[in-house]
Amino acid sequence: MNRKKYVYNIIVFFVLSISLYAQEKTVNLSIEQSAACMGKGNRTLKIANKEVEMAKNERRKLNSLWYPNVSMAGAYVHLSNKIEVKEPLNKFTNPAKEIVHSILPNDQLIGAMLDEVGKYSFTFPLLPSNLTTIDGNVTWALFTGGKRIYATKIARSMVTIAEVNKELTNAGLQALLVESYYGLRLGQRIVEVRMEAYNVLKKHYWNAQKQEQNGLINKAERLFAEVNMDEAKRELATARKEVGVLQKTLNNLLNFTADEVVNPVSSLFMNDTLPPIEHFKAMIEGSNYTVNTLRLQENIARNQLKIGRAGYMPNIALLGKQTFYANGMPKNLFPRTMIGVGFTWNIFDGLDRESNVRQAKLAQQSLVLGREKAKSELAVAVDKLYSQLQNAQDNVTMLNTTIAMSKELLRVRRKLFREGMAVSTEVVDAQLLLSKVQIAYLTSYYQYDVALINLLSTCGIPDAFYGYSKEGRTEHFIFNEE
């Protein structure tokens, strides 16, 4: 019976193991691979691509103004009356009577006959009461004062703006990816630090128990070691929960399912040297997305100003009409083919054109001021981010020495405690100090990476981040040794 139960437990164990493996799938991804996954599945990027397509379609719509407009029109019309010409005959009989009386002064018979005829009217039908027609019409604008040229330029600028906005969206997502990816990496490393601290404090607690039993330390010191061990365990559990939250954030960014666990294999990094700050500031004018967008909007405002001025010019168009089918409409009254040139010229519109021209000038001036303001603010942002990079480098340089000294301090105090020459408080303080310094060390690397991607995104070159990551030195420190 016990053997059967043992076999049953083994089978249940393997089934549960397979089930858990099927539920969670670990995916090892570098930062470059994560960026590729984000580019394929992120919905925000897909929306930006659709906006570019919409702008291109709008440009095609405006390009249609250069082509003739060909249309078909047909109608069936029922008139309440026939359209005809009526002419009284007395207009013709009265002159005839005068001629007859001049020849035959005493004639009465012919005059009576002409009077009788003059009572009637002559009717000539022009159109019947039922009409049917099918026509083809052509209108081709020959001259619009330059409106079509400037509208086409505006459409091209709109497409470029949509592409710049797409690049801006991509840069923002790359910055978010770096924050999430390296945030998860930082969280995992902090878990390792917390785990090491917990293991050290747990071992220290076991030693404290033995020393209490041997009468080398009092109960208070053993309780102090136990409290700090429990606190280290709580901090470890908190760090693991934070890793779970960061994992969900990265999964959402990469459009992964909940059962896919991303393992970031790219380490936190830091470059020993950076280009001078003037190098990054020089990129603002030519590469920054905001500056480029404002420059394109200036071009649009300039072309809108030209369109407003073109409103003073006449519009000239070629006109044509061909009747393919007509019933009840004689050709002598309605020719089947017509062609000509027409124009429209707005002489006075209540000063609407003047208002449009002034509005376009004000918009252009406002955009020029906005671009200069944006450049100044971006220069300040570059100063701030570059300072953060330098601070992170300085912190790591100092913390390298601090970590080495903290490890040595912990080693010495643990040795003295085992020999009964140090109290429990000193060992715990040394371990907590080392954990604090190690986390500060890792955090400085993370702060450097986040500041770097934000700096490069501000300069309009976020893809350069991956080159810096390959050239930089990775975070490293040795855990506590016995």
Tokens 């376009």 correspond to what residue?
360
Q: Beta strand pairing status for 25-29 and 260-264?
A: parallel
Global pTM reads 0.78
Q: How confident is the model at residue 21 (pLDDT cuts 50, 70, 90)?
A: very low
Measured distance CA(225)–CA(206) in Å, rounded:
9
- Angle, alpha carbons 52-144-338 (nearest 5°): 115
pLDDT at 429 over 80: yes
* Residue with the larger pLDDT of the pair 348 and 315: 315
Query: How many residues comprise the chain?
Result: 482
The DSSP secondary structure of 324-373, one letter per residue, reads EEEES--TTTS-SEEEEEEEE-----TTHHHHHHHHHHHHHHHHHHHHHH
For 250, what's the count of Cα atoms within 13 Å in the CB-facing half-sphere?
A: 31
pLDDT at 2 over 50: no
What's residue 293's pLDDT? 92
Q: What is the DSSP letter of 138?
A: E
Instruction: Give the closest residue to 410 by CA, choosing from 478, 335, 341, 311.
Output: 478
Q: How confident is the model at residue 353 (pLDDT cuts 50, 70, 90)?
A: confident
Please, are residues 385 and 455 in contact by the beta-carbon 8 Å criterion? yes
Tokens 């100090």 correspond to what residue?
433
